[in-house]
Amino acid sequence: MNNPAEVYKALADETRVRILALLHDDDLCVCQICGILGESQAKISRHLAKLRELHLVTTKRQEQFVRYSLNRDHRFLMETVEVLHKYRDAVPVLRDDRDRSAEKEDILATCRTD
What DSSP line would sit under 23-44, residue for residue?
HHH--EEHHHHHHHHT--HHHH
Residue 81 is part of which domain span? 4-113
Q: What is the pLDDT of residues 26-37, one digit of tens each?
A: 999 999 999 999
Q: What is the pLDDT of residues 56-90, one digit of tens each?
A: 999 999 888 899 999 999 999 999 999 999 999 99
H-helix segments, 1-114: 4-11, 14-25, 30-37, 41-53, 75-87, 92-100, 104-113
Contact (Cβ atoms closer than 8 angstroms) between residue 33 and residue 108: no
- Side chain identity, residue 100: R
CATH number at residue 85: 1.10.10.10
- The reported pTM is 0.91
Total domains, the chain? 1
